[in-house]
Structure 1
Amino acid sequence: MLDSEAILYYADHPVEFVEDVIQATPDPQQAAILRSVAGSKMTSVRSGHGVGKSTVEAWSVIWFMSTRPFPKIPCTAPTQHQLFDILWAEVSKWLRKNPALAKELVWTKEKVYMKGYPEEWFAVARTASKPDALQGFHAEDLLFIIDEASGVDDVIFEPVLGALSTPGARLLMCGNPTQLSGFFYDSHNKNRASYSTFHIDGRKSGRVPQDFVQTIINMYGEDSDVFRVRVAGEFPLQEDDIFIPLSLVEASIMTDFTPRARPTLVHIGCDVARFGDDKTVIGYKVDEQVTLHKKRQGQDTMKTADDIILLGEELVARYKLTDPIPVKIDDGGVGGGVVDRLRQVKRNNSERFWWMEVYPVKFGERIRHKHYHDTTTYMMAVVKKLLSPYDEETGLRKPVELILPDDDDLVAQLSGRKYGLTEASKIKIESKDAVKKRGQPSPDEADCVLLLCLPVKPPKRKKEAKRHG
């Protein structure tokens, strides 16, 4: 593929390797990162979305494998999606573009290896869901690549630090700066002197569509944490009066999850638009995982009810459900029309719609609770508890209880809701109207998630054999 003289040259010149061999043109920021990987022991890159991080990582894999004898390149990311669908697919793409590379470097679903040396000369993909993901790698030339590093648990990094004592070992970390603690955060703060660090602002990247940047600015403002993290590549500020910190929301999104064939819990939720600029949002929750199924402007209660019915029947068929699905509807304003329509449908054909149990929910309704003022606050507290990585009573780490979709609107709404204390010293989340008065969009996606996570008591049933077993 390359003669020995070329290999010696390209070993210290990754930018030229990318240009000459991979036949791609790095932008100035990507070129600087590549040079850092070649010349520095540890490189850490924080940035907004869409600046080309995964591309740089893929180029680094191919360059390192092509210019070192018997290297090992462990690659990891918080989720299978991030690792295999994005980073690993990016490696495959660039190998395909060069027939000579593709002939020598064999790409498989979990490993890329030099032809003839699958156990000695390779890059391997391992999700960061297990503590030993990066353990056991030994070679004179090692390159650890950690994608979305802010979402990787610190325990994953421990074997990397030991391996970096090898003269030929290197580390490349990239990610959105979502967490205010941890290995990645420290690399840009208290441990910065040990790293070659980069900060890429999406506003200054030619790869980031400016309409995306402007949309985030228009909707949430340049002072919002969503803008800081997802566009500017800055760590969140974490205001004192924010009820659910952005770090919890982002950590949930970056959690890997394998759905069960037969789920133990399936819920449907619908936040119904009250005004012309609000959205109707329908979602469902299968065990821990939330999916935002449909969003629509407008208040067509009949269409909304039909969409919920079709979704319910699809879930019953998909998961072969034998227990009813709680269908929780925002009952304020026009939402009452959706509740009435669903109940009417079930009355008219209870055999077909046996699965549908409708629960009307009023946001902002005052409740008797020791700590929380109203229903909205209680539901936000439920979501916050599910997102928390630690058990309240024991203080020990607990299994993941809520996995959210990567939706910019949802992230901004959940992490931007403020709270205060009432005269009775109870916590009260600001109302939807208060959010809009601050110039923020209606938290429709977030309210759908609140409904999905609200625990409900199943209705009392007559003692009879199940008809739908």
Structure 2
Amino acid sequence: MLTKAHLAHNVVDFVNDWCWTYDPREIGKDKSPFMPFDLFPKQVEFLWWLQECVENGDEWLVEKCRDAGASYLTVAFCVHRWLFHDAFKATFGSRVEDAVDKAGDPDSIFEKARIILKRLPLWMLPPGFDERRHSLYMRLINPANGSVISGQGGKNMGRGGRSSIYIVDEGAHIDQAEKVEAAIIGNADCRGWVSSVNGMGNLFYRKRQNDSVKVFTFRLEDDPRKTPEWIARKKASTDPVTWAQEYELDYGASAEGVCIPGPWVQAAVKLGKLLGDRLERWTSPTAPGVAGMDVGGGGKGKTVLVIRKGPVVRVPKSWNTPDNITTTHAALDETRQAGAGVMNYDPIGVGNTVTSTLKHANTDGLKVYPINVGDSPSDAEWPDGRKAKEMFANLKAELWWTVRCAFQRSYELLLFLEGQEGGCDHPLEDIIVLPDSKELTGQLPVPKWLKNEKGRIGIESKLSLARRGIPSPDFAEALVLTYAPEPIEDFVMPSITPVFGGRGAGLLS
């Protein structure tokens, strides 16, 4: 038998030999719902990975398919540290307190810990440990070494105290996750987010795209219990969206109501690699193009410049500074160097600084237009014969819908090239091709569309996004500005409200 001294330095042997889990699905199969861990290789890898994160003070994230055991493993890991490491403190947080600790509910985090503790031999428990005094509501105390496992829920997560490790359970499903993050940054250096995926419009997805956050992935194929026969049966009885999201870790699957679905965005990225030389006429320095600039005010608000040549979108440029005078000149230089002849920008709010700067800037060779997306739609006529003014609540909705249609054509073209059902051979002039930009691809599938009381299409406001804990989609907004119809008259200072003609929002080709 392994000694206590050995177990103190080997979390894998501790979990494999002494920890128990609970699965009520075994009831009725002549089996007990309580069963010892039998770690499969990916779970072993995860425990060593998590130990390294704790020792290095890393921020980390676990994206998991359903039934991977990730939550139970984090609990077992923390119980191990609680037993064998002096003054260790782990804190678990979740969207509601009941998910952290609810007496008798084995789905709650602390009941998982109690299931493990109750099945340890007495010689392994801390000297003096009394369940009545040391296993409390959202608090497990080790009286021998001062270690603690604590819990928090809802809006109180991260407030006060310090921890060796802070773990946010189901982090992709938490409202106002930005506030949670701000709170837990001061609570622990080692912070972890464990969750199934929940679309692209949340902090969890943005962290997944952040290269400074360590990522561990539990895929369906990592679990040896999930045989091809099991997968076929489960997939046949599960709706496609749920299957893609819960089992295939498809962030674009939960796209209900979004203006530009995630799969369409990924298709535009894939087309850029697939079409290659067929896009050459738009990738040359002399090809005409248009730039869109979304103006930020420093801090979290970036100024972003996106340049599009026909269907081809270049890698965005961004500046994180409140000095919009210098940024305006930098954007003009970038636009010229790219060979684009038009630059559109949003003049509202902090965009006024750009308008003032342009009065004195050298714009020779460029057409620069302020585009107020709150204005009325253009006079363009859509293929079904309706005027844009009949279809859209404002210019913003018209532009987003124009971009949406380009992405839909890209998706259909990709299906056609891959020989899949639903494909269509669209002209390249009518599609959109994206670079592999995490910021751009992460923001485009976020804003939702809706209809107002007059039945006209509108796009989710920045205020509504903020209520969902989502920052302004500055990269996406900059791209959308490249689709603005060119005014009849050239830009003349100091006017900032152009009069739109009937060109619509056609692609430059």
Same fold (TM over 0.5): no
**TM category, shorter:** 0.3 to 0.5
TM (norm. structure 1) is 0.45
Task: Give the TM-score normalised by structure 2.
Answer: 0.42
Larger Rg computed on CA atoms: 2
